[in-house]
Amino acid sequence: MNLLAIESSCDECSAAVLEDGDLKSVVISSQLIHSEYGGVVPELASRAHMELIVPVVEESLKKASISKDAIESVAVTYGPGLAGSLIVGISFAKAFASSMGIPVVGVNHMEGHLYSAFLEEEKPEFPFVALVVSGGHSMLIHVRAPFTHELLGQTRDDAAGEAFDKVAKLLGLGYPGGPVIDKLAKEGDPKAFKFPRAFMDGDSFEFSFSGIKTSVLYLLRELNYDPEKPDEKLVRDICASFQAAVIDVLVAKTTNAARKFGVRSIVVAGGVAANRGLRTALQASAETAGARVFFPRPLYCTDNAAMIGIAAHFKYLKTGLVTDLTLKPTPNLALSF
């Protein structure tokens, strides 16, 4: 089945083409305008999607060497995400599907992240434990079989990616914060400052990252830190210490979950999965649990239509069901368990 996938939940406008689950093309257009505002501006995001979606889809079809007449189904993100951005993607998907007389498959954005590792040549085995970490989510999931999920734990407050962005803002490093903190952390001392590790006692799989962010805030106040006149060594040490605290929690809980459920595969997905420190630490820790870690390449860690397409492929194989043209955006859509 030739499938066109569309992702427009936030500030990436993306389209992909898959044939029977094999990726033929993916195009991602990122909206750089948001960096000057320190975060995504919903109104600007939705307007940009309106301008970008047609050329992005056309380019994805061209790269896949396929005509629109050969597309047999359209998959589109319908939540969670920004309402205006979701509306643009869903409206285009329904219009395209209606004009071609083909079905529309609604996909949860988090399902896309959950199955993004299957875009790679080496694929995880079911069952597996998945750590999904992004700007809006931090959760551990036991995936027993395709679309058979059990939530083990999630963040009680800030998600890991959100904490990275907020700390970067405190340091005056700009937006998004994850990549720049990861880069600076390589040059800093991870033991320079002791930041808290929440929910580390017992068998809890819950997360909390607001305490780490607040500790950085208090430290900067104590040091009278001026983001306009940064101390480069101090910034590198704070980045390294902060990142180490976040990684310690993510790695410990994920490895404990792998041991508890006896899985041989661990999947890490979402924007924070591109973090090099997390990748190195988790790969080393997973070996002690007899498990192998599967990371999507960085391109598939951020929001993209390829992951929406592979999730739709698994959904189709599992249920054979498709949505109808009444599909509506659901900004607060939860992952089904």
pLDDT tens across 256-288, in order?
999 999 999 999 999 999 999 999 999 999 988
Q: Are 169 and 221 in contact (CB under 8 A)?
A: no
**Are both 84 and 149 inside the same structural domain?**
no
User: Pick from 59, 143, 140, 82: which is nearest to 303 by CA?
Assistant: 82
Q: What is the pLDDT of residues 93-142, one digit of tens each?
A: 999 999 999 999 999 999 999 999 999 999 999 999 999 998 788 999 99
Give domain status of residue 336, yes or no: no
Q: What is the pLDDT of residue 30?
A: 77
**Are both 134 and 257 inside the same structural domain?**
yes
**Are both 79 and 219 inside the same structural domain?**
no
Domain that holds residue 140: 124-295
Q: What is the pLDDT of residue 32?
A: 59
Q: What is the pLDDT of residue 33?
A: 62
**Are both 97 and 230 inside the same structural domain?**
no
What mean pLDDT is reported for the chain? 92
**Are both 141 and 289 inside the same structural domain?**
yes
**Are both 288 and 197 inside the same structural domain?**
yes
Give domain status of residue 241, yes or no: yes
User: Pick from 26, 76, 89: which is nearest to 322 by CA?
Assistant: 76
Give domain status of residue 176, yes or no: yes
pTM over 0.95: no
Confidence of residue 205 (pLDDT cuts 50, 70, 90): very high
User: Pick from 28, 25, 31, 26: which is nearest to 11 by CA?
Assistant: 31
**Are both 108 and 203 inside the same structural domain?**
no
- Mean pLDDT computed over 182-210: 92
Query: Secondary structure of 222-288 in the HEC alphabet?
Result: HCCCCCCCCCHHHHHHHHHHHHHHHHHHHHHHHHHHHHHHCCCEEEEECHHHHCHHHHHHHHHHHHH
Q: What is the pLDDT of residues 217-246, one digit of tens each?
A: 999 999 999 998 889 999 999 999 999 999
Give domain status of residue 324, yes or no: no
Give domain status of residue 331, yes or no: no
Q: In total, how many domains does the chain have?
A: 2
**Are both 69 and 159 inside the same structural domain?**
no
Give domain status of residue 328, yes or no: no
**Are both 87 and 216 inside the same structural domain?**
no
**Are both 98 and 201 inside the same structural domain?**
no
Q: Which residues of 130-143 are buried (b: 16+ CB within 10 A; e: fewer)?
A: bbbbbbbbbbbbbb
Q: What is the pLDDT of residue 324?
A: 72
Give domain status of residue 29, yes or no: yes
The answer on pLDDT for 34 being more than 50 is no
Q: Which two tokens stand for residue 305?
A: 């239509």
User: Pick from 175, 140, 334: which is nearest to 250 by CA?
Assistant: 140
Q: What is the pLDDT of residue 198?
A: 86
**Are both 25 and 149 inside the same structural domain?**
no
Q: What is the pLDDT of residue 175?
A: 82
177: Cα within 13 Å, side-chain hemisphere: 24
Domain holding 249: CATH number? 3.30.420.40
Give domain status of residue 80, yes or no: yes
**Are both 182 and 310 inside the same structural domain?**
no
